[in-house]
Amino acid sequence: ANAKIIHLLRHGEGTHNEACDDACTDDKYEDERYADAPLTERGKQQATHAGSILGSARLDLILSSPLTRALDTATRAHAVWSAANPSASEPKFVSLEHCREGLTYGVHPCNRRRQISEISKEYPNVDFSAITSNTDTIWNAKRAESEKELDARITLFLQWLNSREEKEVLVSTHCVFLHALLKRCASQTSWFNRGEVRSYIMTFD
């Protein structure tokens, strides 16, 4: 069996989260102004705190959703971890479409990604080569993602992870994806807080 230590990280607070909290309604998730929502200042602080929680973890791979809030969270967490572990080798930093947010709760512009050609200029240290389409092929303006489609993405995510040689991985992703992943792999159904890190030993048959 192939075992890996997986640190699962939910992104810090995004502008879409803040807007919904302030309005006491989820309606703001449907607002086009929050397309590919970035982190708020509180979200940036949460990302920094996540890096400190990682402590002396022996990271050899950082994996992130290509949505801005996940990439920014991973980048900030990595910076703190790297400063605390100056003798550690730099982990590979890869963006993967499979761990995008689950789109099962509606058609929300905050979950639509920008073109890779645009995002990659902002994150030059991230390897986007695993994402084959420059444009977003998952987000659909006409319908939400089905549970079956999300489950298929989780399967692709796990297969990709299993194929890698790295043994300790940080995954920066989203709450619906994390909820579905842990429900399937660990029979856990508690939701992640923003910027929360949970660590698991994941065994692949």
Catalytic positions, written as ranges: 11, 101
CA 197 to each of CA 1, 15, 35, 168, 170: distance values in angstroms, whole numbers, following the listed order: 25, 20, 25, 14, 9
H/E stretch holding 68: helix 68-84
Q: What number of other Cβ atoms are within 10 A of residue 137's Cβ?
A: 11
Structural Rg of the chain based on CA atoms:
16
Q: Which two tokens stand for residue 149?
A: 């489609």
Amino acid making up residue 35: A
For 156-183, the DSSP string reads HHHHHHHH---SEEEEEE-HHHHHHHHH
- Nearest-CA neighbor of 138 among 171, 173, 114, 161? 114
CA–CA separation, 149 and 98 (whole Å): 11
- Backbone phi, psi, residue 200, to 5°: -140, 155
